[in-house]
Amino acid sequence: MSKNANIREEARAVTARPPAVILCEPQLGENIGTAARAMANFGLSDLRIVNPRDGWPSEKARAAASGADHVIDRVQVFDSVEAAVADLQFVFATTARSREVSKPVRGPDEAAAKSVELGEKGSATGYLFGRERWGLNNEEIALTDEIVTLPVDPDFASLNIAQAVLVCAYEWRRTATTGALPFLLSEEVHPPAKKDDIVRFFEHLEGALDAATFFRPPERRPHMVRTLRNIFQKAELTDQEVRSLRGVIAALEKRETRPRKKRGGNSGEQ
């Protein structure tokens, strides 16, 4: 085998599960196509689109993809960010701006290291990219685990979606093919929970808190919900932990009707 052939084989030797790329309400088919091309350059193929403005399929997207048809053909379209990330277990929000939402902030190299480490264990990860004109809102960022910020010049911080995808995809591929992980996650007995299970946990918790009239005054509810969700997102919950927390909530919901355990076998209270 030639030296060049060996290099090509080594470049293909990626064992980590590749991340998904989620585009939130993209406006232009051309941007979707160039993002797909950037993904294909670095071995990514799971492209998800939330409410594309001009609908789907898009011939402009296919033309701009410049041959990355295998990415375009597999595109999944969703009505909401929640649905698009439901089966994922760890999601990065990409933004160049500071936010009210308090989350760990990583550079693209650190995010790639975490994605590769999780991917080596078979966990499903993803990168969420915002709208061309104003990015992601706080509710969407609250669904994610960490923020990825690219080290752009603050005097000209605006990036085209495809450029942002290219940087993240490049860092992921570079890390996945060299095995150079800046940090390693601790060994986990249970995999990270899927986003769909976490959202169901949030809804269960918030419903129980509604019943207990926790959210006061009512107009503060959206802010309080975001705060609670961010607290639990930081914990990087496993599937087992989500099940345990839902069991805790269920027990609290029934706390007034559960029989008290009697001591000593007598029928009366001791």
* Per-residue confidence (pLDDT) for residue 106, from 0 to 100: 92
Among 120-124, 172-176, 186-190, 206-210, which stretch is predicted with the lowest mean pLDDT? 186-190
113: confidence class by pLDDT, cuts 50, 70, 90? very high
* Per-residue confidence (pLDDT) for residue 151, from 0 to 100: 86
Place of tokens 């419903």: 207
Q: Please, what's the b/e burial string for 53-68 (b: 16 or more CB within 10 A of its CB; e: otherwise)?
A: eeeeebeebbebbeeb
Check whether 221 has a pLDDT greater than 70.
Answer: yes
183: confidence class by pLDDT, cuts 50, 70, 90? very low
* Per-residue confidence (pLDDT) for residue 121, from 0 to 100: 92
Place of tokens 């860092």: 171
Joined together, the tokens standing for residue 132 give 């061309």
Rounded Cα–Cα distance for residues 218 and 210 (Å): 10
Backbone φ and ψ for 168, nearest 5 degrees, come out as: -65, -40
Rounded Cα–Cα distance for residues 91 and 18 (Å): 12
Is 3.40.1280.10 the CATH number for 3-178? yes
* Per-residue confidence (pLDDT) for residue 1, from 0 to 100: 46
Rounded Cα–Cα distance for residues 178 and 10 (Å): 9
Percent of the chain, pLDDT > 70? 83
* Per-residue confidence (pLDDT) for residue 135, from 0 to 100: 87
Comparing 185 with 113, the larger pLDDT belongs to: 113
Radius of gyration of the chain (CA): 22
CA distances from 97 to 25, 58, 62, 81, 258 (A): 18, 30, 30, 20, 49
Separation of CA 156 from chain center = 26
Across 17-35, average pLDDT: 96
* Per-residue confidence (pLDDT) for residue 187, from 0 to 100: 45
* Per-residue confidence (pLDDT) for residue 12, from 0 to 100: 54
Check whether 268 has a pLDDT greater than 50.
Answer: no
Backbone φ and ψ for 135, nearest 5 degrees, come out as: 75, -140
Backbone φ and ψ for 15, nearest 5 degrees, come out as: -100, -15
* Per-residue confidence (pLDDT) for residue 204, from 0 to 100: 94
Q: What is the pLDDT of residues 121-159, one digit of tens each?
A: 999 999 999 998 888 998 899 899 999 999 888 888 778
Check whether 262 has a pLDDT greater than 70.
Answer: no
99: confidence class by pLDDT, cuts 50, 70, 90? low
Rounded Cα–Cα distance for residues 101 and 137 (Å): 10
* Per-residue confidence (pLDDT) for residue 104, from 0 to 100: 87
Rounded Cα–Cα distance for residues 132 and 31 (Å): 9
* Per-residue confidence (pLDDT) for residue 49, from 0 to 100: 98
Angle between helices 195-211 and 221-234 (to 10 degrees): 140
Backbone φ and ψ for 45, nearest 5 degrees, come out as: -140, -10
Cis upstream peptide for 192 (omega within 30°): no
* Per-residue confidence (pLDDT) for residue 181, from 0 to 100: 44
pTM of the predicted structure, to 2 decimals: 0.71
Nearest C-alpha neighbor of 214 from the set 225, 204, 226, 202: 225
* Per-residue confidence (pLDDT) for residue 96, from 0 to 100: 60
CATH level 3 topology of 195-253: Helicase, Ruva Protein; domain 3 (1.10.8)
Domain ranges of the chain: 3-178, 195-253
Check whether 237 has a pLDDT greater than 80.
Answer: yes
Rounded Cα–Cα distance for residues 138 and 156 (Å): 23
Across 64-84, average pLDDT: 96
